[in-house]
Homo-oligomer: A and B are copies of this chain.
């Protein structure tokens, strides 16, 4: 009951009057171990009395695995925050710890090195980060990609093409034909697919995206503002805009309201991701729900299964996405 720290299995052993090995056998519940019930209880009681906690560093050293998952995110933006939260939840359930790294300036490789040193059982990261790794840096690593399919590593991803398609369907169903798209310039699978699905569906309905209605900006709030400003200054304004993520859409909304453009009266806006804040702004943002937490949770499960020796390669599947209709989209007004 004294200092709960610094207690080792040896301390428990001597208090219970057994050997350290026995303590380990009891506490690790090794099924192959034959332990008399009375001994087991003496050990358990001694451990409880001393407040014994196994040293996970020592355990990890022996096992050559740490029971920790590494997560490397480009930044703690709303999307990745949800992913991390999902990872965290599953990890906690399974008794794993989570080592979090924010790879702000392309120093993903350095962070991965650190996590390697920790013998993480699994490493969850985004595609951009993974791409920045040296060829052999990921060797022997149980790597799980978030939101980008790959044939080299297992992955979890949402159905980004469907996301784009759903957005298009929604806007078309409201009668819009003058439609614009704002997406990032970065060559990232998710955004590429969202765009592809969106454009394809528009085309299927005879709507083409003119180049002046396709704006490339940073995937952030201020990027969305820039994109929207450009669209508002066009001779022929669109009546609806799909932004490749919610942050940009929030920027677009801001700019529209600042310009006294009625949303959704004169201009329908859609985002993608369904981050928390989409429900908070006025009007609430129509968007496509990506279920980022679920994505993180699945990545964690995949990582844990991979760490336990299962081959999870190709058990990957795309998570369905869902239209979330809110207040920022409406019928095109009769003109």
Residues of chain A whose beta carbon lies under 8 Å from any beta carbon of chain B: 1, 3-6, 51, 53-58, 60-61, 66, 68, 75-76, 81-82, 84-85, 88-89, 92, 95, 97-102, 104, 107, 111, 113-119, 136-137, 139-141, 221, 250-251, 253-254, 257-258, 277, 279-282
CA distance A4 to B6 in the complex (A): 33
Which residue of chain B has its CB nearest to the CB of A280? B250
Q: Is the CB of B55 within 8 A of A61?
A: yes
Q: How far is the CB of A221 from chain B (nearest CB, A)?
A: 6
Could you give 26 example pairs across A and B, Cβ below 8 Å?
A1-B136, A3-B139, A4-B140, A5-B140, A5-B141, A56-B118, A56-B119, A57-B66, A68-B118, A76-B85, A76-B88, A85-B102, A88-B101, A92-B102, A92-B107, A92-B111, A97-B99, A97-B115, A97-B118, A98-B101, A100-B100, A221-B280, A250-B280, A251-B280, A253-B282, A254-B280
Q: Is the CB of B100 within 8 A of A88?
A: yes
CA distance A329 to B84 in the complex (A): 35
Q: Is the CB of B282 within 8 A of A282?
A: yes
Q: A76-B84, A254-B281 are in contact. List 14 more A-B contacts (CB 8 A).
A: A1-B136, A4-B116, A5-B116, A5-B139, A57-B118, A68-B99, A76-B88, A97-B101, A221-B279, A221-B280, A251-B280, A254-B280, A277-B277, A282-B282
Q: For A254, what are the chain B residues with a Cβ–Cβ distance below 8 Å?
A: 280-282
Given contacts A5-B139, A137-B4, A140-B6, contact A97 B114 (CB under 8 A): yes
Q: For A57, what are the chain B residues with a Cβ–Cβ distance below 8 Å?
A: 57-58, 60-61, 66, 118-119
Q: For A88, what are the chain B residues with a Cβ–Cβ distance below 8 Å?
A: 76, 100-102
CA distance A116 to B52 in the complex (A): 11
Q: For A95, what are the chain B residues with a Cβ–Cβ distance below 8 Å?
A: 114
Which residue of chain B has its CB nearest to the CB of A279? B221
Q: How far is the CB of A31 from chain B (nearest CB, A)?
A: 23
Which residue of chain B has its CB nearest to the CB of A95? B114
Q: For A75, what are the chain B residues with a Cβ–Cβ distance below 8 Å?
A: 85
CA distance A1 to B277 in the complex (A): 47
Which residue of chain B has its CB nearest to the CB of A61? B57
CA distance A89 to B55 in the complex (A): 27
CA distance A326 to B13 in the complex (A): 64
Q: For A280, what are the chain B residues with a Cβ–Cβ distance below 8 Å?
A: 221, 250-251, 254, 277, 281
Closest 3 CB pairs of A and B: A5-B140, A56-B117, A257-B282
Q: Name the residue in A95, A118, A251 with the highest tally of chain B Cβ atoms < 10 Å from its Cβ.
A: A118
Which residue of chain B has its CB nearest to the CB of A283? B257
Q: For A277, what are the chain B residues with a Cβ–Cβ distance below 8 Å?
A: 277, 280
Q: For A3, what are the chain B residues with a Cβ–Cβ distance below 8 Å?
A: 136, 139-140
